[in-house]
Every structure is written in structure tokens, then in C-alpha cells.
Amino acid sequence: MAKYLIVTGGVVSSLGKGITAASIGRLLINRGLSIRMVKLDPYLNIDPGTMSPYQHGEVYVTDDGAETDLDLGHYERYTGQPTSQKSNITAGRIYWDVLQKERRGDYLGGTVQMIPHISNEIKEKIRRLEDESPDVILIELGGTVGDIEGLIFLEALRQLGADVGRDNSMYIHLTYVPYIKAAKEVKTKPTQQSVAKLREIGILPQILVCRTEVNLTGEHLDKLAMFCNVPRECVIVEKDVETSIYEIPLVLAEQGVDEQILNHFRIVRPSRPLKDWQKLISVIRNPKGTVRIGVVGKYSELQDAYKSIYEALYHGGYAAEYKVDIVKIAAEDIETNPAILKTVSGLLIPGGFGLRGMEGKIRAAQYARENNTPFLGICLGLQCAVIEFARNVCGLTHAHSTEFDAERGVKTEHPVVCLLEEQRNVTEKGGTMRLGAYPCVLEKNTKAFKAYDQEKISERHRHRYEVNNHYREQFEKNGLIISGINPDIGVIEMIELPDHPWFVATQAHPELKSQPVLPHPLFREFIAAAIKKQLMENPS
């Protein structure tokens, strides 16, 4: 049967449970084990799909169309393993499903209670991953020990450990060990209290991962081991890394985390060096140079709103052994200060919703087209490029997307971007998004085809609006290349310009498939083009 590895967090949030869990997953894969990962989120939303980026950051989309927590992005980037609908479980989804069962009469008129009904539903959803026959199911619980909304999840995880037995379950607790600067002292008491809270619930962590800003001495580690009832060799120090979060697998491997896990589960697998990650960190520490890339976004002040975009850009830089300096450009600022676009060697417009900042994004696409600045458009970024091309090359002055008709209070004269139903002249419009992986056929002898080096590809989507095929002939007549088409519904997936160093846009979200050791081809080629431009302008 599958082994269960459960990661909880204590003291404060934002300690990096997702990165730690993903790094442990990487170590287990390196030891030849198959894994699946799942994130438990105690909030009451059904999923993050309708949550504001200001509240939650980006929405990560899986191949099967789940809108999930951004930690699933960490899981896929570090492990290379796909996640799915089964990989993100929220309290909202649990309560929703239990109440639906109650309304159907599934509980035969019995009183529905937190225990056993809610706890059983949590366990049932976690154990669905057993159908995929992994060696290890790695579970991360969001929030911290003591959060009232997380208590039922902790109870379910306690029960899960009892159900499968000690030999098949293991608890890892990630906690914060603060350094009080004024007193010049490390304090272990918060960690002791966090572990004590877990023990009250009935969970006894077998590995303690200590997040800290400073080195911990042997005295600190001995104290933590004794008071938290954890073997000394299982007290792991996860000090802030200086170079990159991608160092964490190496940090944990050096302290033998994977060895402790395998010993607990009585699994014998040979130790192997993380050669690809060692090479990656060497490149990150010793770049050949730095390239400046502008990301023109609506939420430029929020680090997590474009998390996967930023990581994919870094990955593209690693492929060229360059550091990527990301310049976060607020789309609205371009409308008043377009000169900011001259400070970067490449421009990327990410996906998004809503009218705010649209004209700034369109202006950025125009600047990239007219000034031979390497450009990559993602989702809404493709639509901005199409609108700009329609207005300034095709002469369709009032071209726009029907998505914004209501906000603008104007019916678009030239709806170059619209709903599929509008293209087909259907009066009853659906409200569903294109979510998850969709196929695309690439046109040979295009930049996109050369980047992917294959004709048929699949990328993930999250959008409602499409480029209007009624304008396709006019676009192509004026020089726009349609380099990718969805073979099933015939909509435009990718565009590019022929006489441009790199001007490519996609309706998909390729950033969701990029990994540090396997950069996405579009980001790799985009960064390579930006480096080439920078070197031409500044040979020194």
C-alpha cells in the first residue's frame, strides 16, 4: 500500500511549506520512488478560481482543468510530476460535498457531524490518490497548527495515520525558530509550543524542519530534540538560502531527510546525487550575465500574482546561464510614462481579467512590435497583441475585445476578440471557461515550431475569450502569422510576426509547465532573443 507523508506547519504562516514539501518530493523521486502530492486548504472557498489575486495570488491550473492553490505549481516545478483535480482539497469542497450527500439522503437521516462525516470525507478524498498506485502520497496542510478552520483537517490526518498504521505514515512538522536581534538569542520556545499543540491533537511529528534566519548550534538542536521528542538526527535546519529557493532539495539532502524517511518506511533504495540540481545551482551562482525583462501586469506589486510567470522567466535564464532581472511594470503607468519600456531587453504581457490597464498593455505590445523588442504574450497578452495589430496595422481603429463592452459602455465596432458563441452568431452565450490542457497544431517553419521542435503540442488554458476567426484573413493579409491552431474547434492558439527577432504570443499558459531543470521552450527562446538584443546594443 501507499505510504503517507504528512507535512504540517506551526508558529506562523508563509514559512515555505509548499517548497519544503516539493523539495522532499524531489528527493524521493531521486531515490526511485513514485509519488503523488496533495494540498489541503482549510478555507471555505470551493477552489481559488474566483479569489482575488490580492487575497490568494495566482490560480494554478492542472491538465484536467482544476483551478488550484499556487503550491501545486511548486510541486510540479520541483518534482516534474503532474497534479490533478485530486491534488487540491479545500474545506469548502468538503462541506459542499457532505451537504449534498445529506440532501440526497446518503446518510439515511442520521445526524451529520464533524466527526465522522467531515473527517471521513477528507480521508476519502486523500485516499483517492491510491488509485494511481504511488509509492508515497505526500500531503501538505495549509495554515498553521491552532487555526480553528484547520482543526478538523488535523483530526482527519491523525485518523489517517491510525488507519494505515505507523509503518505506513509519517509526520513532518515545519516550524519557525526566531532570532531575537535585540537579545542576540535564538528562541526554541515557539517551536516547543507548536509541537505541544500537535501532541494535544494526537499527532507526534517524527521529523522537525526548523526554518531560521541564522545557524542553529548543537545546543539548540539538542534542546529541540529533547523537548519536542524527536530524534536528534531528525531535527533538520532549513536556514534561509542565499542564492535560490531551488537550493532547498540540496539543503535537505545534505542533512539526510530522504534517508530518515526511507528508514521509517523500511524502504531500501540506493542513494544518488542530485546531479541536475547541483548543475542548476552552479549556473544560478555563476551566471554569464544579467538580462532585464519587463513584465507588464495589472498586479505588478504582488509577487504571487504572477508566480509561475516569474519562475518560468528565471528558468529561461538558467537555460542560457543568465540571471533574469524582472522589471515589474504596472500597465497603467505605461499610459502616462511609456519611456519605461526602453529600459528592458524583452517584454512579456501575462494573462488577466478586467479592463484596468488594457490600454497600457496594448501600448506595450505596439512598442515591442515597432522597436524589434523581443515579446512574449500569454493569454490576455496574445489578445492585446491582436488588438494592437488590428488597430495599427490593419486600420481597424476601434478594434477591441467584447469582454470589456460592459465596462466601457460601448459595443465594440471591430470585435477581434470575442466569445466562441459570438463568432458563431449564437444568441445564447455560455459562461464556461476553457480550462486545462488543449491540443494545438503548429505551423511548420515558424518560431513556435522551431522552439517546440514538434508539430502537435498540448498546453493549459484558463480563459473565455478567443481571437475572432472572422478577422483571420485580414490579419494574415497584413502580415500576421497564425502559427498555432486548435485542431478540434479551429480557434487561434498562437501568433507571431515574421520580420521580428521574437514576437510570439499564445492563448495558453505555458508557464505552468516550466521547470528549473527543464525550461519551457517558449520562455527559453524568448530569453535567448532578449539576451541577443541586449548584447547587440551593449557589446561590452
DSSP3 helix / strand / coil % (the chain, rounded to 5): 45, 20, 35
Q: Which residues contact 309 (CB under 8 A, 6 or more apart)?
A: 295, 348, 350, 378, 511
127-147 b/e (C-beta count within 10 Å ≥ 16 → b): bebeeeebbbbbbbbbbbbbe
Vertex 120 angle, CA 114 and 121, to 5°: 90
Whole-number Å distance between alpha carbons of 221 and 479: 66
Q: How many Å apart are CA 102 and CA 136, to the nearest integer?
A: 32
Phi, psi dihedral angles at 438 (to 5 degrees): -135, 150
Cα gap 204→278, rounded to integer Å: 33
The beta-carbon contacts of 474-482 under 8 Å, at least 24 apart in sequence, are 474/390, 474/394, 474/396, 475/386, 475/389, 475/390, 475/394, 478/389, 478/393, 478/394, 479/393, 480/386, 480/389, 480/393, 481/443, 481/446, 482/443
The pair phi, psi for residue 167, each rounded to 5°, is -70, -15
Catalytic positions: 379, 509, 511
Paired with 514 in beta bridges are none
Are 231 and 259 in contact, with CB atoms under 8 Å apart?
Answer: no
- Give CA–CA dist 384/376, Å, rounded: 11
DSSP 393: T
Cα dihedral 343, 515, 209, 200, rounded to 10, equals 110
User: For residue 338, is the peptide bond before it cis, meaning its omega torsion is within 30 degrees of 0?
Assistant: no
Q: Say if CB 103 and CB 2 are below 8 A apart.
A: no
Minimal CA–CA distance to 115: which of 156, 163, 165? 156
Of 302, 303, 346, nearest in space to 325 by CA? 346
Residue 187 cell numbers, joined: 528562541
